[in-house]
Amino acid sequence: MNIVFFGSSEFAVVPLKALIEAGYKISCVVTQPDKKKGRGLHLEGTPVKIIAKASGLKVFQLQKINSKEGADFLRALKPDLFIVIAYGQILSQEILDIPKIFSINAHASLLPKYRGAAPINWAIIKGEKTTGVTIIKMNAKMDAGEIIMQRKFGIDENDTSVILSKRLSESSALLLLESLSAIENKKVKLAKQDESAISLAPLLKKEDGLIDWSRSASDLHDLARGMLPWPGAFTYYKGKILKIHKAKVGVRCPVSGVRTGEVIEIFNNMIKVAAGDGCLDVLELQIEGKRPMSAQEFISGHKIKVKECLGKI
């Protein structure tokens, strides 16, 4: 098969490597344009571009892939199959219809749950205990295509979006290879998604990470895990943004008569903060303008005290 691979983020790297190692013919890798990064604002390619170039693959980058230029370029490749994983642009039906077979996508959720750009983050934020990977035959509607294969995985109570993303990336590579085998052997059985079970996972915004201390400690623990690496779950301390990188649901919480967001106990390695239901034990955090640090380092450097309150006052 003549495959064109569309991908940009780190999530798509392992599947691309798996295709290369399996010996599939990849005539081109389509990825997002380079972006300026770092203090020097140097142009930097996507993680997928870096791997593609190192593997000697042809790379194509275009700001608007659905343009005539994009369509003409892709048609000239005479592809049998498009594989799209964490690419970053929505493909038009005109583009999706170019391959001789069809276009497929690997999505990091149990579709139809968590359609959208941030399924891993939202599954954790919403307190899900399971998630998965779904391979679909694409159509122009976001993540709405017929299911080719699907695999379920558990979410550990300490999984962050970073940890889970790595695991699901590896799993998507394996499921992708299984799906390609089924396609080659004409053994694909397409299943329609249950439209009544749809939930959405929109792109994260900075304000999504703002901590509402009136929510339960369990909700806040999920928020902290799901908002990594950006924007991070954040609150305020003495007028500065304070990100919480690691926490756990507290036990033995003396919360009678305290305000939500109030520091109720301080230990060597933990800051116990009152939530709407129980308390959150903060273990790793980062004050605005400083590096991430352990609770012990923060306590030593900032002299935080019991009865002080986190959040905007």
For residue 283, the domain's CATH number is: 3.10.25.10
In a domain, 47, yes or no: yes
In a domain, 172, yes or no: yes
Number of domains in the chain: 2
Q: Is the pTM of this model over 0.85?
A: yes
Distance, in Å, from the CA atom of 263 to the CA atom of 304, rounded to the nearest integer, reads 9
Same domain, 193 and 210: no
Same domain, 33 and 151: yes
Residue in 242, 228, 232, 254 with CA at minimum distance from that of residue 306:
254
Same domain, 258 and 124: no
| Coil/strand/helix, residue 45 | coil
Distance, in Å, from the CA atom of 206 to the CA atom of 34, rounded to the nearest integer, reads 23
149-204: per-residue pLDDT in tens?
A: 999 999 999 999 999 999 999 999 999 999 999 999 999 999 999 999 999 999 99
Same domain, 77 and 139: yes
Distance, in Å, from the CA atom of 307 to the CA atom of 259, rounded to the nearest integer, reads 9
Last residue of a domain, one of 197, 217, 237: 197
In a domain, 240, yes or no: yes
* Mean pLDDT on 240-250: 97
Same domain, 104 and 248: no
Same domain, 50 and 13: yes
Last residue of a domain, one of 163, 197, 231: 197
250-272: per-residue pLDDT in tens?
A: 988 876 789 999 999 999 999 99
In a domain, 186, yes or no: yes
Same domain, 184 and 240: no
In a domain, 309, yes or no: no
**In three state form, how does the secondary structure of 265-300 look?**
EEECCEEEEECCECEEEEEEEEECCCCCEEHHHHHH
Does residue 39 have a pLDDT over 80?
Answer: no
In a domain, 290, yes or no: yes
Same domain, 155 and 73: yes
In a domain, 191, yes or no: yes
Same domain, 70 and 128: yes
Query: Which domain range does residue 57 map to?
Result: 2-197
Percent of the chain with pLDDT over 90: 95
Q: How high is the pLDDT of residue 313? A: 64
In a domain, 310, yes or no: no
Same domain, 129 and 245: no
